Amino acid sequence: MMVTTCTLPVWRGRAAAQARCREEAPSAWHLAQWLAEHHGDVFDATFGPHAAERVLARPAPSLVIPDIDLTLDGLADGSPTDLCAHLDILIGPVIRHCPAQPATPVGRFPNAAPVNRYERQWLRPLEHAMPLDSQAAYIREAVARLRMSPVGGVMVVAPGGSGRTTFLKCLAGVAPMTLPPVGGLARVLVGIAVDDLLNGDPGHNLRAGIEELEPHEILVLDDAEQLLDLPGDGQNPFLQMQLLRLIRSAKVPAVLCVDERRATSLQRSCDMIGHSHRIVLGTPSIEELERIVSAAVPKICARHTVVIPPETVSRALITPGDADDTSQPKLAIERLELGAARAATSGRRTVELSDLGLPTQQQDKLKTGAEITARLTGEVLGQPGAVTRVTRHILLAQAGLSVRPERPHAALLFVGPTGVGKTAMAHALSTVLYGSDESVIRLDMSEYSDQWAAARLTGPQPGYVGYDQPEAWLTTKVRNQPRSVILLDEIEKAHPTVWNVFLQVFDAGRLTDSRGNVALFNEAMIVMTSNLGVSDLGRGPVGFADDTATASQEILLAAVEKTMPPELVNRLDEVVVFEELTEGVIFDIARKEINRIIDRLSSRGYQLVVPHDVVEAVAKAGYDHRFGARHVHRAIERLLLAPLAECTERKLLAHLSDGTPTWRGHPAS
C-alpha cells in the first residue's frame, strides 16, 4: 500500500524551523491543529471521533515543547499516521480529554485575533457596482494586469474620497465575466476590512486572512495606508514584510488601494510601488461629478426631510479647500449631508449656502464690478488702467465663465517701473478673489536663474537633494492650496528652462511632479511681475500725457516680446502695463502709510498726530519717479520713525522745524 507523505510547509528545513520557532514559539498543540485541519480523518482515527473538531475549536494551551528538536527530528517527511503517532506520545492524553465545549477560538498564530476554522472571519465578497465613464479605462487596465502571468499585485492610487471604493466594486462586477476561471470557478474579489486587521497584531492577522483565500479568489485590501499609520513610530516591520510579500507574490493575486499622499511614503519606506503594477485613478469630469452628487441628493433630502436647491448643490462641488482632507465627489456629498442636518436641526426645510460649512472665501457672495474696483483702488493707488483690466478677470473667475475651464482663471503679466504697485496688486487680487492675503504663493524668480532650478518646481529625480522634501515644491503647494494667486515675482530673472515648465500650466492647467502626482491650476490665478523695458523709458519729469503714456506702453510691450519666447507670450491672457506714479499719488501713498503706522502704534500706547504739511514734506522728500512708492517708505522711516525712536513720551505731535519734520509733546497732554 502506498503511504502518503506530507511536508510541513512552515517547518521545512532545520534553520527555517528554528527561525520560525523564535518568531512564534510553536507548540505541540500547533502541530495538532495542523494535522486536524489537513488530515482530519487520520487524526480522528488516532485520537477518537470528533477529536479534530475539538482541537480546532480550542486555544493552544501552554504546552510548548522544551526541546524543539524533539518535534522536528524525523517529522520533515513523515506520513500523517506517523505524525499522529508521534503526537500521541507527546500530548495524547491532552487531546483525548479535550472538552467538547469550545472556548474562545484563536488563530494559528499566538498574536493573531480569534479565527474560526469552519467560518470565514477575514474575507468578505465585495459588492458590485456599475462602472463609471471616467473609470472604464482604469478598469480595463486592472483586468489586463490581473490576467497577466504571474499576476503579482496591483496598487490603485487615488486621493481619499475620489471613488477608490467604487472602483473596486466596479472591478468586482466585471471580474467574473472578463477574467479566466480557475478550477472551473469564476474569479471573484474578496476583501479584508482594515479595521478587523487592526484588532490585534495586523501582520499576523493579514497572514491569517491570506490563508483563507481560495485559488479562484482575488484579495482586495482597501485603505491599505491605514495599516502603516499605526501608533508610535508608525512602523511595523513584520506588517510591511507581509504587505511586500503580498505585492510580490505570483500565487496570491491582490489589489491594494492606497491614498496618493501615503503612496510616496510607501515608495520610500518599503519599496512596494516598485514591485507592483501601479494604476493612478484620474479625477472625474465636472459632468460626472454632477451626476454622482445629483444621484445622492434625493436620498439626503428624504433622510432629513429637506429641500436642497440646485445652486446649493453646485456650490458643494467647488474644489476642496486647505482644511478639507477628502476629495470630490465624497466631499460634496458630505457637505450636502451636513447642510441638510443643520437645516433640519434649525427647523428649516431649505438648505442654505451657509449650512454647507464652506470656508469664508468660498462662500462669500459674488462681488460687483464696482465693488471690486473700489477695493482694488483703495489698495493700489495711481493705477486706474491696471485696476480696470484686473477687475475684468476677477469677474470672469468668480462667475466661472471660461472658454477652457481646465486652465487657470488668468495668466497675467504685470510690467512697469519698480515700486508702482505690481506686487501690491497681486496681494489685493488674492484678498478680493479668495478672501485672504494668505492665499498668495510667492516665488522669487531670481532664485530660479539656473537651469537645474526647474527641479524645485516639480521635484528632483529620486536620489537627488530635495526629493524627500515635497512640501517645498510648487506642485505640492498648489495641491494643498488650489485656490490661490501664484505670484512669479520678476519673471525675467528666471532661466528659460523654468519658463518652459509653465507652458503646460498656462495651456492645460496641470503640472506633474517627479512622483507622478498631478497639481491642478484651474482654481488658481497666475500673476507674473517684470521690469522689462523700464531702462528704455525716458527719464524726463513725471506726468504722462496721453501720447507719452501710449509710447511708454509700446516700449514695455516691445521689450516683453523681445525677451520672452513667443510660445510663452501667446499663452498669456493679458499684459497689464503699470504707469509711473505722479507726485499727487505719492502724497496719497504717504498719507495712507502714515495712517497705517499710527493705527499700528496705537496698540503700543502711542497717540500720534501728523498734520497735512508734514505729510506733504515727507512725500516731497520721498518722491523719485525712478523708485516709486518704495522711496516714500524710506522717507517715512528716516524723517518720522527714526526721531520717534528717540522720544520718551507717547503723546506726540509732528511739526516742521526749518522744513524738517520733528516731534513734540501733544498739547492735549
Say which residue, 548 or 380, is predicted with more confidence. Answer: 380
Task: Tell me how far apart the alpha carbons of residues 306 and 299 are, in angstroms, rounded to a whole number.
Answer: 10
CA dist list (Å): 461 to 144, 449, 668: 29, 20, 67
- What are residue 517's phi and psi, to 5 degrees? -80, 140
Q: What cell was used for 500?
A: 518652459
Say which residue, 518 or 61, is predicted with more confidence. Answer: 518
Residue 92 pLDDT more than 80? no
Q: Return the pLDDT at 414.
A: 92
Per the prediction, the chain carries an average pLDDT of 75
| 3-state SS class at 243 | helix
Say which residue, 22 or 605, is predicted with more confidence. Answer: 605
pLDDT tens for residues 628-659?
888 888 889 889 988 888 888 888 888 888 88
In the numeric block, the cell 497584531 is attached to 201
- Cα 176 versus chain centre, distance: 34
Q: Return the pLDDT at 663.
A: 86
Share of the chain above pLDDT 90, in %: 5
Q: Return the pLDDT at 485.
A: 92
Residue 191 pLDDT more than 90? no
pLDDT tens for residues 462-472?
778 877 788 88
Q: In 212-347, where does DSSP find H-type helix?
A: 237-248, 260-269, 286-304, 310-316, 330-345
CA dist list (Å): 496 to 375, 513, 557: 35, 19, 19
pLDDT confidence band for 311 (50 / 70 / 90): confident
Q: What cell was used for 619?
A: 512725500
- Report the greatest alpha carbon distance in the chain: 126
Task: Tell me how far apart the alpha carbons of residues 560 and 3 are, in angstroms, rounded to a whole number.
Answer: 90
Q: Helix-strand-coil percent breakdown of the chain, rounded to 5?
A: 50, 10, 40
Residues 6+ apart with CB under 8 A from 534: 416, 417, 418, 556
Q: Return the pLDDT at 482.
A: 85
pTM above 0.85, yes or no: no
Q: Return the pLDDT at 289.
A: 77
pLDDT confidence band for 272 (50 / 70 / 90): very low
Say which residue, 50 or 367, is predicted with more confidence. Answer: 50
Residues 6+ apart with CB under 8 A from 521: 407, 408, 478, 482, 486, 505, 509, 510, 511
